[in-house]
Amino acid sequence: MELKRVVVTGLGALSPLGNSVPEYWDGLKNGKSGSDLITLFDPEKFKTRFACEVKGFDPKEHFERKELRKLDRYSQLAIVAAEQAVIDSAIDLEEINRDRVGVIYGSGIGGLGSIAKEITDFARGDGTPRFSPFFIPRMISDIAAGHISIKYGFRGPNFGTVSACATSTNAIIDAATYIRMGKADIIVTGGSEASVNEIGIGGFNSMMAMSTNNEEYKTASRPFDASRDGFVIGEGAGALILEDLEHARNRGAKIYAELVGSGMSADAYHLTAPHPEGLGAALVMKNALEDAQMAPEEVDYVNVHGTATPLGDISETKAILSVFGDHAYKLSISATKSMTGHLLGAAGALEAMATIFAIQEGWIPPTTNLNNLDPEIDPKLNLTPLKAQKRDVNVALSNTFGFGGHNASVIMKKFTE
């Protein structure tokens, strides 16, 4: 069976750096911090009182009041990002065959805010079960894909992926696979997350996974730095339109990049900690390269998972050295979570976009806040510290790893006929 080629023809983003794709990329390129004091609830009693929130987002500008009753914040962000991507792709909704347009869109946690509200309201009541009829549809992590499908009448493959922080990369991989196999012409894919709330912050604090650097919250996300003390939680949504190349050509679509390979693997090691030698991380990159039929030397840029956790950053750099050998020292490497924070299930979609724009514009976004490299990390690696670097990029790889040992990587390439 001859596999179809898959290209990216539309993008949408709501991020801590801005509520559009141009704002997001401009923020990355210029090393903007998306971290600030939490405004979505009163964090005074929590160990962490800052996060990378989506700022200036008013759901009433996008949804009727009646519709908002049905939507958790994570679904609101997802629908708006998908709308941006659909508009950007210039799909003619009257001309395309909607039976062959799908939505594969994920969330690592789903409607955590809705869960918190309903349970809190019940606990504060007299024990009488008074739950919203929309509670379950608001909180389930597949529902964003359903909403997007319903909005546009897309009747192709439709489901949500869940693999913690690898979620939206897995969604992109699944979408690409369906198109490569000829089961769809176009798929809206990506992920969203909205877990900046009491139980999200409290839960991650109890794991001691998040930074508690409340005094220096603007620069608290410090991948690879010796002073890092955990990730900074973020929220947001990213949407990509993946399309069969022939279908895109026939409608005269603009093409951002070609998705040429993907990989998946498991650490099979620990619930939350990575394998100390990065075995799963190395395997997923090898699998992606094999799928793309590429040699390691063909890769120019790696957008790392790079969460600023003490164990994760070291493990990932070991994996890169294992896979790329001496070529690792010629790579450009950066951790854009230093600016966006960790968007959990939405991270992969927005970071895949970072690789696309690195290819398109020839800029490597920086790893900000990297002032004092961890001595356990090889100093010869180019981690793009502090400022963006100019570089021609033909091939870029994006890594995402999730609790449970879930690993997913995608490879984007400059599109050529």
Burial of 127 (0-12, 13-18, 19+ CB in 10 A): exposed
Q: Hey, which residues does 12 pair with through a beta bridge?
A: 239
Known catalytic residue: 342? yes
* CB contact set of 71 (below 8 Å; sequence gap of 6+): 59, 63, 79, 138, 147
d(CA 278, CA 306): 13
Known catalytic residue: 305? yes
- Catalytic residue selected from 147, 275, 305, 406: 305
| Cα 364 to chain centroid, rounded | 17
Cβ(345)–Cβ(165) below 8 Å: yes
Known catalytic residue: 165? yes
* CB contact set of 58 (below 8 Å; sequence gap of 6+): none
- Catalytic residue selected from 165, 247, 275, 406: 165
d(CA 47, CA 49): 6
389: closest CA among 354, 358, 349, 347? 358
Q: Hey, which residues does 14 pair with through a beta bridge?
A: 237
Cβ(281)–Cβ(343) below 8 Å: no
Up-side HSE of residue 51: CA atoms within 13 Å toward CB? Answer: 31
Cβ(173)–Cβ(410) below 8 Å: yes
Up-side HSE of residue 55: CA atoms within 13 Å toward CB? Answer: 14
Active site residues: 165, 305, 342
